[in-house]
A = this chain, B = another copy of it.
Amino acid sequence: MRRKVDEFMEKHGLGVGDLVRVVKREGDERITFEGLVMPPYELSPGETLTIKLDNGYNIGILIDAIEDIEILERAKEAPKMEFKEVLPRKEGLPSVTILGTGGTIASRIDYKTGAVHAAFTAEELAKAVPEIFDIANITPKLLFNIMSEDMKPEYWKRIAHETAKALNSGEDGVVIAHGTDTMGYTAAALSFMLKNLTKPIALVGSQRSSDRPSSDAAMNLICATRMAVSDVAEVMVVMHGETSDTYCLAHRGTKVRKMHTSRRDTFRSINDVPIAKVWPEGKIEYLRDDYRKRSEGEVEVDDRFEERVAILKIYPGVTSELLEFLVDKGYKGIVLEGTGLGHTPNDMIPAIERAVENGVAICMTSQCLYGRVNLNVYSTGRRLLKAGVIPCEDMLPETAYVKLGWVLGHTDDLEEVRRMMLTNYAGEITPYTRFDTFLR
């Protein structure tokens, strides 16, 4: 049986991508929506027409409640352009590889084609964001196309190897297009897995899909490309610095976190100052001078990673059951998101002692996110220290989790684990507490 939505679209001559005005009946009221027609969701019963609003969100409108629909503008046919998969190189420009991994930034094509997987070719990029081709010779490569909530350590490894391959084959920098949900985790993973970094790596995403006027995709991609040809030989996240289209911030990959579900300036450096402000026109204002500088030499990949690692959040009423279960299951490391300065209920401490006796690394971070764990202030903290907990300084819980997996990929000796966790490999530990970075 044909679905209502398919019949409705046929009857009104609607095409995917058309801009429409829909009048919906709600009781005695009439509500008007404007937006782009989205392809009907494959598994849906087809009772609704889905419209992508200007704010980037989709709404489903019951076909039976639609009183009127008007096509304001037909979906534009992409103009045919005559260039090859890799555009002719311009003399004198640096070279940047853009690796696609999926996410909203790659979702532009979705509803135009109705396909689930976004394409990612030089041609499409050139149409979407022509500005980047004036900054560098761009080589796009679609590694895979997943929503970033499906990201896993094995994908981190693939991204690390592809990034190193590009840099070691002469590229001046790499941009990684990535969904925003877990971009911070991937940035941390690459920060540890890529050693002897001599060139920039800029992760970039968008909070609004790139087909909308309000999208942040183009400016973010331009700024990320600027950072990819900059002097900074670090793993960065480059995203909007404020809600309007003024500048982006380049955050250190180990200190950055997604702090808002939907704002464009969602990514924030926690407990540290971003590396730079970058404007799409090309200006870069460095906010610190202790970043790693571009240099010569091969980038190395060290992707040994122990996947039997978990994050456990602490809260009133938490029991030792989850911790004990993980130990029984053979987990090698657990990052606790403690309260305050890094605490658990005192009645969890015996289970923590047993975990450590069983060779499981227990690391402490704070669910406050801002600040630094300190297990010397209160007696609970001192008991946790005595039980063998490793206090992770001012590391983000997410970064501590990624780092612990990486550290345990190298050793399972708890003293060595402790030493490595407290060694600052990629700026993940701010040596002194900065009070000027709170809620910035």
Interface residues of A (CB under 8 A from B): 41, 56-60, 147-153, 156, 179-182, 185-186, 243, 258-263, 265-266, 268, 307, 309-318, 321-322, 325-326, 329, 337-347, 366-374, 376-380, 382, 398, 401, 405, 433, 435, 438-440
Contacts and interface: CB of A to CB of B under 8 A. Distances in A.
Contacts of A341: 181, 261-262
Contacts of A367: 258
A366 B261 contact: yes
Contact of A317 (B260, B329, B405): B405
Contacts of A56: 377
A181 to B, nearest CB: 4
A107 B339 CA distance: 18
Given A152-B345, A182-B315, A312-B313, 11 more contacts: A41-B382, A147-B380, A150-B345, A182-B316, A185-B316, A262-B374, A263-B438, A310-B322, A315-B401, A317-B405, A439-B439
Contacts of A259: 368-370, 438-439
Highest count of chain B CB atoms <10 Å: which of A57, A315, A370: A315
Task: Tell me the number of copies of this protein.
Answer: 2
A318 B310 contact: yes
30 contacts: A56-B377, A57-B374, A57-B376, A58-B377, A149-B338, A149-B380, A150-B347, A152-B317, A153-B316, A153-B317, A182-B315, A182-B339, A243-B435, A258-B339, A258-B367, A259-B438, A259-B439, A261-B342, A261-B370, A261-B372, A262-B371, A262-B433, A263-B438, A265-B438, A266-B368, A266-B371, A311-B315, A315-B401, A439-B439, A439-B440
Contacts of A317: 152-153, 307, 309, 405
Contact of A378 (B60, B147, B369): B147
A158 to B, nearest CB: 13
A231 to B, nearest CB: 29
B149 A343 contact: yes
Contact of A261 (B262, B368, B376, B405): B368
A272 to B, nearest CB: 14
